[in-house]
């Protein structure tokens, strides 16, 4: 999988394409307040490109304006990261630097990551925007039926045309569908707000439970006292039941 493959899957209209190199110096000026972050950008990014600007004039999707945010366009950005780069921090810095919601495609070695982050007006600084909520990201380097479904769902024309916020949120939903599918092995598409919100929480709960299980299993192996091992194993069984419930929900797309 390469960045070019993802760009083709997005099926961006030709008149929305920009294809301009973004200088690292400009990026450092916009989003790197610390010397450490500036070094991460300088040392970690090989090159960076502004691929496209999706606007009402070129994709026929209206802007979104309310008291929380103003989406005038969606940027599509790519970057090649060097092998030793701290990718998670660079992804955050790049999303912070762009005043518009961005589809950010980053390549590092053999991995390609697809990431998004909603934006909102800053509460503390007039005229500025900040990241709203979590950065949603997924590695799409694997080649399987799950990735094929994901790539087939990305085309701009397949997303809602209500406004730019709805279009961008739809891509976020696609990322969470792939994340859930990798847990369950089944690709389930949901569009309602209640289903997508519930899926997001189920994914978070699943990750949390797996971490707790790993810690308990490590404790059980080290525990010498029989009664304490029994107590730990009971907790493990309870968590395993909860994990199975989360997996079932993610598989069928509805609460049981």
Look at the block and give the residue holding tokens 């994990």.
Answer: 243
Q: What is the pLDDT of residue 125?
A: 81
Q: Which residue has the higher pLDDT, 138 or 126?
A: 138
Distance between the two ends of the chain, CA-based, in angstroms? 36
- Give tens-digit pLDDT for 193-210: 556 666 667 776 767 777
Total domain count, the chain? 2
Q: How far apart are CA 58 and CA 52, in angstroms?
A: 10
Domain boundary (184, 206, 233) is at 184
Confidence of residue 67 (pLDDT cuts 50, 70, 90): very high
**Tokens 């490590």 identify what position?**
218
Q: What is the pLDDT of residue 28?
A: 81
- Do residues 92 and 209 share a domain? no
Are residues 84 and 201 both part of a single domain?
A: no
Q: Structure tokens of 239?
A: 């968590």
Within the chain, where are the H helices? 3-10, 24-31, 35-44, 56-59, 87-97, 145-152, 164-184, 193-222, 226-252
Q: Could you tell me the residue range of the domain that residue 243 belongs to?
A: 193-252
Is residue 85 located within the same domain as residue 147?
A: yes
Tokens standing for 253?
């797309």
Per-residue pLDDT at 256 exceeds 50: no
Q: pLDDT band at residue 249, thresholds of 50, 70 and 90?
A: low
Q: How far apart are CA 217 and CA 232, in angstroms?
A: 8
Contacts of 51 (CB under 8 A, 6+ apart): 7, 12, 17, 18, 19, 76, 77, 78, 105
Q: What is the average pLDDT across 121-138?
A: 89
pLDDT tens for 185-197 read 776 666 555 566 6
Query: Residue 82's pLDDT is what?
Result: 94
Task: Tell whether 133 and 232 lie within a shared domain.
Answer: no
pLDDT(252) > 60: no
For 34-50, how does the pLDDT look when each residue is reduced to its tens digit (9 = 90+)? Answer: 888 888 899 999 999 99
Same domain, 97 and 224: no
């Amino acid at each position: 999988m390469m960045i070019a493959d993802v760009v083709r899957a997005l099926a961006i209209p030709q008149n929305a394409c920009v294809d301009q190199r973004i200088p690292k110096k400009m990026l450092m000026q916009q989003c790197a307040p610390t010397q450490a972050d500036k070094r991460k950008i300088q040392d970690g990014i090989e090159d960076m490109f502004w691929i496209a600007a999706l606007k009402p004039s070129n994709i026929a999707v209206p802007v979104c304006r309310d008291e929380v945010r103003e989406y005038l366009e969606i940027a599509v950005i790519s970057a090649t990261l060097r092998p030793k780069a701290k990718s998670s921090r660079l992804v955050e810095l790049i999303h912070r630097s762009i005043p518009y919601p961005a589809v950010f495609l980053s390549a590092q070695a053999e991995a390609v990551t697809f990431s998004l982050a909603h934006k909102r007006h800053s509460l503390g600084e007039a005229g500025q925007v900040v990241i709203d909520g979590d950065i949603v990201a997924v590695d799409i380097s694997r080649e399987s039926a799950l990735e094929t479904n994901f790539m087939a769902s990305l085309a701009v024309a397949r997303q809602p045309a209500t406004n730019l916020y709805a279009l961008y949120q739809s891509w976020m939903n696609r990322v969470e569908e792939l994340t859930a599918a990798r847990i369950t092995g089944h690709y389930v598409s949901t569009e309602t707000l209640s289903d997508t919100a519930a899926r997001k929480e189920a994914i978070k709960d699943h990750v949390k439970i797996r971490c707790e299980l790993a810690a308990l299993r490590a404790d059980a192996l080290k525990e010498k006292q029989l009664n304490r091992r029994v107590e730990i194993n009971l907790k493990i069984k309870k968590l395993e039941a909860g994990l199975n419930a989360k997996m079932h929900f993610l598989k069928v797309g509805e609460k049981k």
